[in-house]
Structure 1
Amino acid sequence: MLGDAEIQALDNNLGTVLRDNQRHHENLQNLLEQFHLLLDNYSRLKSDYEEEKDAREKYKKLARGQFKDHLIKAGADGGITAARLLSDSIKGLLNDQLGSQADQCRIMVRIYSNILGLSKNLARAGLLGNEARSFSPFAASFTRSQDLFDYIDAGDKKEGADYKIREMFRLFADNNQCKHIFFAGCHDAGYLSLLTPYRGKTDRITLIKSASFHPEYEKLDLLVRELPAVFTSTSPSPMGGNIAATATRPVCKHFQKGICRFGKDCTKLHVMPNQQLSKLLDDTPNQPPSFAIKVRDQEYYARFLPRANPKSQEFIAINKDGERIDTYCPMPPPEEWEMYYRRAKRHKLCNKYQLGGECGNFNCEFDHSPIESACLNVMMYIMRQHLCSKGVGCRSIKCYLGHMCQKDGCKGTKPCKFSRQAHILSLQVTQWGMPIDHEEESPVSEGFSDGNSTTDLHNSFSYNIRDPVSF
């Protein structure tokens, strides 16, 4: 039997064991709490890292998947070119969407981004220098080149650009004065919730598709369009960056200058001058561009073009884009054509004198005598079918050639010599500009000889008397 001393010793030993176990338990609990705290910190750091990684990837996509590389590399000049190409491309889409109402619209563009962060990513991509804000010249030139175009630095806060884009969209989405919205933020799935309430409203919203287009936007049942002249295409060439193939398809010079409006539907090959090119792969048949213009008829021109009046004899009609607008010049009736034929057969008429007001050639062999207004109408109609070499920038009040196409139902294809822009420019007169004297076009006069087309020193164009309206 154990003595009292032994029992006391065992009791003391048991107490020691219990206290040791308690300390061990407490230490274990502390260790577990520290482990959980460390795990929570790790999870937060990982989440922050993933967000930062996503942000970097988004900017990389913006850098390489939005504006064309050659525009970004061009710096300030690239910003000006990008704004002009974007304006022209949107005009084409508006014309397809709104028809005659498109000419009454002004185009407003708002771009929001983190200029500092975007500059860093563009520098890493080799598109810009390593200056802190190397993208700023592009953004500033883009803003200056068009009255309602703004490239805005939203700062380096995470939600800066997103907040601006959402609020700007909400401001115009339900504004009746805004005819249509072209939304180009489809690289980020975060805007899906913003657009979902407008699902299927193709009359209000069009999505702009670029190389970083998120596939979820296809489910919104909205129109999706590409602007291949400005943004990188979603279907790059399968031949990659360097092209070395066997073909005969010519290179599109307009694309190399950044002004081809037909994009991937262009019948010529799109390659940049710095790409390796020996022979070109002609893998697709020639197809007419799908980016077709909205056909305008005589009723449209009669409704929107300014009429000849005393003001038009002293000033130049100019639209909101600074483009010259011709006065309305309808097809003359048959009796005026007959009167013109009879007069021209007797003596060839001098276009410079009859239409421009003076000839300047003392030895001119063409008719300077007064003519009937009917003959003048026919002469004006004929001359308006031929493009002035200065185009919509011409400011000569004496110029009697055409600066835009007025042919009924013309689709802007051959044999029409007018550019595509000459078929879609705005017809609303915003100002009457002062004329500017400059060197005039080569003298042009009509010459007929028993129904055959003839040309001479004063006859730069020829016509067939048997078919006076087929030019």
Structure 2
Amino acid sequence: MAHTNGSAHATTNGTSSKEHVASFWGRYEHLKSQDSMKNVLLEDVITRYENLVLKHNEYVMAHEEEDETLKAFHRREQTLMTSVNTLQNILNRDPFVLVLIDGDGMIFNNNFLRDGETGGRQAAAVLHDAVQKWSVEAVIETPPDVKVVVRVYANLGGLADVCTKAGLISSPNQLAEFARGFTRGKTLFDFVDVGAGKDRADGKIAETFKLYLYDYHCRQILFGCSHDNGYARLLEQYTDAEPLRRVTLLEGTPFEKELAILPFPTVKLGSIFRESKISVPGSVDLLTGQPPRPRIDSRGLSATSGVFTPRTNSPFSPGRGPIPQLDGQTTISQRLPHLRNNSIASSGNSSESASANSWATVAKTSSARLYSELPPTPTNSTSPPKSILRNLKGQRVDQTLEYDRDEVLRLKRLKMCNQHYIGNGCCHYNAGKPDKCPHRHDVKLSNQSRYTLRVVARETPCKKGFECDDAKCIYGHRCPFPLATEGSSRGSGMCLNGDNCRFPREMHGVDTKVVKRTLVTGAF
């Protein structure tokens, strides 16, 4: 029994030792696996940390670049803001209101004109204060000390002559003194004498208007042109929002019809300017040198009545020899001496006062308003064929017509039917439907006015152009306006109307030297 117990004990102890060793091995393997897991964990942590460090470095570098960019942007912004402030100060410096006045029609009040230079200074002061006050009230963001610039353009000699004859002033010198006083009254005021000539004031005003229309310093343009529909052609090109905000029409006489319908705002500055056009009572007839004859009621009178007898002292009266008719070989200058000599001879035995009204005297004192050509005498059916004048290129050359600008403007305002008076006759009127024609047919015209109406008709281009061979054609075959010598159209070959001219470009600058004639039939 003892032996058996001992063996069993040994066996038990042997088994226990093995299990104990095995447990160690098992614990070792467990620790080994845990170390592997720990190593894997540590490697993963280190890898992730390494990636974070790389991304952090990239972020820091990008942030540093953005920071430099931001700093550069702030520096540039400060520079630009400084420039903007400087430019804004420049733009806001010396704001002004421009007043453009056509002095041939916008006439200053009689009281100013009569006081000569003193009146000119007073007119300048009153106009300056009125414009400045109106600008502060009506123009947005206009400072109280806004400058006022005034340009008055006029034919000073012609205007002085008219004002004197109308009794507004006692002598032409008074208007010259007024203009001098007006110019001296304010530093930025100018009364400019453009001299005699068609549309000289109009052209200067139009170009000055275009020059300052979009000038930021010019806060407003007061356009004094209420008397002349011609300016509607200029203004109707600028009827969008910006010009309508920057231009105001200044009223003197009531606005003509075409100006009144334009969308521009208007203003009237008290009584600085005349509200009615100048009327010259008892003016001298420049053709006869005599006052105009009174209207006679011809009802009940015969053709032999004394009121129809021509005046004996008229240079165009019968018994003075035939007046040479204008043909292809007779020039205007050749006709004038004949007319003048007849006039002077007829007044040789008259008193000094009568001779003062002779053709020569009137022509000398009023040369700017003198008609130097008479309307051609109508020809009968037996007249020889007429000829169309042509230049070297075969282009039709219109015969030169001399005219009185004031008379042309007067006839324009009447809106007469050219075809009815000087053409082949208005089809509507001849058909008994005068209401279908937009022009007038009820005006009684003298031969001289019919002749001057040809000047008006020639401002409409002929549809046949240079090739027209109609001897009766009343329309223009070349632009009658002078070539532009100032402004954007200078050197372009266009007239002072620029791109707004009704004549095409090829009808400008036409050679007027006649080298041949095309014979046609029919009366002119």
- Superposition TM-score tier, normalisation by shorter sequence: 0.3 to 0.5
Larger Rg: 2
TM-score of the superposed pair, with normalisation by structure 1: 0.35
- Bigger share in helix: 2
TM-score of the superposed pair, with normalisation by structure 2: 0.31
